[in-house]
Structure 1
Amino acid sequence: MSRSAATAMRVSPGTTPADRAALGKAARRRSPRSSHSVYRPAPDRPDPLTVLEAQSASRVPELVPIRYGRMTESPFRFYRGAAAIMASDLAGTPVSGLTAQLCGDAHLLNFRLLASPERQLVFDINDFDETLPGPWEWDVKRLSASLVVAGRANGFDDAERARIVNSTVRSYREAMIRFAGMRNLDVWYAKIGPDLLESLVAGRLRGTDSGRRNLARAMAKARTRDSLQAFDKLTETVDGRPRIAADPPLLVPAGDLLPEVERSALESRFRGLVERYGRTLASDRRTLLADYRLADVARKVVGVGSVGTRCWIFLLLGRDDQDPLFLQAKEADTSVLAAHLGESRYRNQGERVVSGQRLMQATSDIFLGWERVDGIDGRQRDFYVRQLRDWKGIAVPERMRPKDMRVFGELCGFTLARAHARSGDRVAIAAYLGGGDSFDRALATFAEAYADQNERDHQTLVDAVRAGRLPAEEPPAARPE
């Protein structure tokens, strides 16, 4: 389905709510809600290894074995790195013809606690490397399947996994119906802040003090994960000055990567990057950024699917050497969705990521921006920049009981619906979903079928590594992000 074909189904903002609802109900005739239960691999389905190798071709060669090593660890880790594979599979599934801005990689670990500019914790989507407009169903399906994959890893039985997915999709559906009846500004301002988060969790985990205690601990821990914490963990003092400490291959100072280049020349190159990127920020934030000076730069390995892409962290210092700011500049390549939905309207892939993030998140990092630079290998690449750490609280699915995962899934479903409601036709999508549970049950079936496919693909990678077709290594455990 091309992006132009998808967006053609949207209605103008001036159309009446009744007309928009009629559009959503009409979409049921083209793609019944029950049809979303079906997943069958296409006869010409690409070899998953070919997809992974194609991505690896443009990545840092010495880091690619780390990516494969991480993906072989478990079906869930494979799933986190297989967004391109699933995008190809989703392209053959039914769609309503209604679109929204997609996260593109909406698995459960890409929902987490974050800091708002007003210094409040919010629960929101975090990763937008693959963002692009497209069928809203694709995000919901990727989220649903991730819950099944994670549930299987925890030993949850069929009924427990079905309840988790049904609850998640019901939360998405009911939230979309709620947003459909709200004023535009109220939708835009909606977010899950600390008070709402605590009340939602308390209501879902009634009678279980452990769930509330776990939430309180997670929120308290998230508030400690900032530039000061990163400064303590990632730096050392060299000749009386703070420097990023080497932890190869996961964290390598730029001077170690390019020992033949004078430090002053390196700093000048990266200082120019920071200054140019600052032009994409609002004027008040440019002023704030200008009060910092660049102290050091290092290459960092991040995540699972992103391993091998170029990612730099910048240590900046403000008032003195105890006033740090860590920024992360992450390479932005073409979205994995683009092959199926059409290219982004943004020529700079970093701007694509930033624009999608600002559109989907309730509130975004004050230092979020983008830049195009000539890399150390002479090739021009796009990057987006944000704070390395800003009160991030990350879920640990391995520690979740079935009830915990169900509540977490409900939070994710609500959050994803709010994100889609900002850009998609929420009235039409809500009308398509309706008040019944047909779509909920369909996605529970789809998610199980796709988890089967994911396990087959994971085994294919494991077999390829064992046979020596693909190199894989697992370095020492990464420091917590």
Structure 2
Amino acid sequence: MNRSHRFRYGRMPASPFAFFRGAAAVMAGDLAKIPFSGLTCQLSGDAHVSNFGVFASPERQLVFDLDDFDETSPGPWEWDVKRLAASLAVGRYRSAMIRFAEQGHLEVWYAHAGVDEVEILLEEHGDKAKKRRFAQEQAKARARVSLQACRKLTSVVDGRRRIAADPPLLVPLGHLLPDTDRADLELLVQDLLAGYTATLSVDRRHLMNGFQFVDMARKVVGVGSVGTRCWVVLLHGRDENDPLFLQVKEASRSVLADHLPTVASANHSSDGERVVTGQRLMQAVSDIFLGWRTAAGIDGLTRDFYVRQLRDWKGSASVETMDAAGLRLYGALCGWTLARAHARTGDRIAMAAYLDDGKAFDIALAEFAESYADRNEQDYRLLVQAAKSGRTTVRSGL
């Protein structure tokens, strides 16, 4: 068992949903055994409800969209829908796709779920309490910027601002390799960032060139991604009151690749490019600093990475604490968002025709979701038992 599996298994026994989040590869294998329509589009590859959230658009508007693309790949549209349905029963995907099939290319491309649309949805359902909570969450998301991250994640050491240690979740580079020449490490990071900026548009490359490297730390992230290499990079612009935090995350082979060998690696020079391309295709708007780089790591081995801002009005819903009404509303929003992402890259007219305007798809999807949830519970219990008996090695505490 490799290192990333030990770390992932350490988080998956927390709950059946945590197990589900970490089991994208398991579900991909299960879905590959089921017949599908033959219609394809760009997939998220891991479209469960916790991989949707809010973030800032380049125009500084708060938008709701998919926010995880580590497994993105062209593939059967049903796979994303079934993964979403297995995490939360949904019905709005079908009606949204039929609506998108009636629209022109530009209308579909410009469609997005801004916070105004979410507020209208809450207003239509007459839920003032949920609308107040949503307003509070908006305020929290807008506070998540680089300056706030700088206050929270850094301290002054020997007169210079550095990323503060918070092991094992956040470990500065100097703590990981205390005997290594810091100048050599900085050159390595600067080379990675210089190569990465070539994947940005000219205007954003110019903006990025105004920032200078300050410090770097290893970060532990997610459930499905835990164990992969992820770094937080602190840069300064005009001065230390003008910070920028970037997340440099290792891009591994998609879990869909074993089951979709003819399309999973098409037209991509690296997995970093695959992740970024998928994100740009599926999101209505994307992070202005989103890019990729293949570079040598500290250990001298070449790996693929993608880069994005660490915090830019990012926020996500706590689905575990939602009541039934809240889950229905959130499921409708996620279903619409996923349909829009698929409509951008697939044959939306053919998909809408396949779905039809009846309830057969909704019923079949609900039955699948309930059946797969039962299977997930069984697999979860097997992992818990294997961890307790020592048959499966896990790394807990992360």
Q: TM-score range by the shorter chain?
A: over 0.9
CA contact (8 A) 2:10 2:394 kept: yes
Task: Note the C-alpha offset of 1:475.
Answer: 2.3
Distance 2:318 2:396 in 1: 20
Where does residue 278 of structure 1 map in the other structure? 197
Task: Note the C-alpha offset of 1:201.
Answer: 2.2
Where does residue 416 of structure 1 map in the other structure? 338
Q: 2:178 aligns with which of 236, 255, 259?
A: 259
Task: Note the C-alpha offset of 1:455.
Answer: 1.0
Q: 1:95 aligns with which of 26, 30, 36?
A: 36
Q: Deviations over 1:180-227 (max 9, x none)?
A: 011100100000112212112221x31x21111111111111111111
Amino acid at match of 2:203: D
Residues 455-464 or 465-474, more deviating: 465-474
Matches within 5 A, 1:347-358: 347-358=269-280
Where does residue 50 of structure 2 map in the other structure? 109
Residues 214-223 or 104-113, more deviating: 214-223
Amino acid at match of 1:315: L
CA contact (8 A) 1:99 1:134 kept: yes
Where does residue 391 of structure 1 map in the other structure? 313
CA contact (8 A) 1:361 1:419 kept: yes
Where does residue 45 of structure 1 map in the other structure? none
Where does residue 381 of structure 1 map in the other structure? 303
Task: Note the C-alpha offset of 1:119.
Answer: 0.3
Where does residue 139 of structure 1 map in the other structure? 80
Do structure 1's residue 199 and structure 2's residue 140 form an aligned pair? no
Q: Deviations over 1:307-343 (max 9, x none)?
A: 0000011000111011110000110011000100113
Do structure 1's residue 231 and structure 2's residue 150 form an aligned pair? yes
Do structure 1's residue 129 and structure 2's residue 51 form an aligned pair? no
Q: How many pairs align? A: 395
Amino acid at match of 1:329: V
What fraction of aligned residue pairs are identical, expressed as a percent?
61
Task: Note the C-alpha offset of 1:473.
Answer: 4.1
Distance 1:253 1:445 in 2: 47
Distance 1:272 1:244 in 2: 20
Where does residue 453 of structure 1 map in the other structure? 375
List structure 1 runs of 4+ shifted beyond 4 angstroms. none
Q: Deviations over 1:216-239 (max 9, x none)?
A: 111111111111121111111111
Task: Note the C-alpha offset of 1:452.
Answer: 1.1
Distance 1:358 1:285 in 2: 15
Distance 1:319 1:86 in 2: 47
Distance 1:104 1:380 in 2: 25
Distance 1:179 1:263 in 2: 53
Do structure 1's residue 180 and structure 2's residue 121 form an aligned pair? no
- Unmatched runs of 5 consecutive residues or more in structure 2: none
Distance 1:434 1:175 in 2: 12
Do structure 1's residue 71 and structure 2's residue 12 form an aligned pair? yes
Distance 1:368 1:420 in 2: 21
TM-score, with length taken from structure 2: 0.97
Distance 2:252 2:320 in 1: 31
Distance 1:336 1:109 in 2: 18
Distance 1:295 1:377 in 2: 21
Distance 2:6 2:165 in 1: 20
SS across alignment from 1:320: coil
Where does residue 244 of structure 1 map in the other structure? 163
Distance 1:351 1:219 in 2: 31
Where does residue 31 of structure 1 map in the other structure? none
Amino acid at match of 2:306: Y
SS across alignment from 2:258: helix
CA contact (8 A) 1:350 1:383 kept: yes
Task: Note the C-alpha offset of 1:64.
Answer: 5.1
SS across alignment from 1:302: coil
SS across alignment from 1:330: strand
Where does residue 12 of structure 1 map in the other structure? none
Distance 2:37 2:308 in 1: 34
Do structure 1's residue 440 and structure 2's residue 362 form an aligned pair? yes
Matches within 5 A, 1:32-51: none
Task: Note the C-alpha offset of 1:265.
Answer: 1.1
CA contact (8 A) 1:255 1:266 kept: no
SS across alignment from 1:280: coil
Where does residue 283 of structure 2 map in the other structure? 361
SS across alignment from 1:142: helix
Task: Note the C-alpha offset of 1:422.
Answer: 0.3
CA contact (8 A) 2:122 2:128 kept: no
SS across alignment from 2:215: strand
Where does residue 431 of structure 1 map in the other structure? 353
Task: Note the C-alpha offset of 1:347.
Answer: 2.4
Matches within 5 A, 1:50-65: 53=1, 57=2, 61=3, 65=6
Distance 2:391 2:187 in 1: 41
Amino acid at match of 2:8: R
Amino acid at match of 1:351: E
Task: Note the C-alpha offset of 1:470.
Answer: 2.5
Task: Note the C-alpha offset of 1:299.
Answer: 0.6
SS across alignment from 1:373: strand
Task: Note the C-alpha offset of 1:399.
Answer: 1.8
Task: Note the C-alpha offset of 1:297.
Answer: 0.5
- Unmatched runs of 5 consecutive residues or more in structure 1: 1-52, 148-164, 477-481
TM-score, with length taken from structure 1: 0.81
CA RMSD between the two structures: 1.1
Where does residue 292 of structure 2 map in the other structure? 370
Where does residue 324 of structure 1 map in the other structure? 243
Q: 1:401 aligns with which of 314, 323, 344?
A: 323
SS across alignment from 2:193: helix
SS across alignment from 2:179: coil
CA contact (8 A) 2:54 2:141 kept: yes
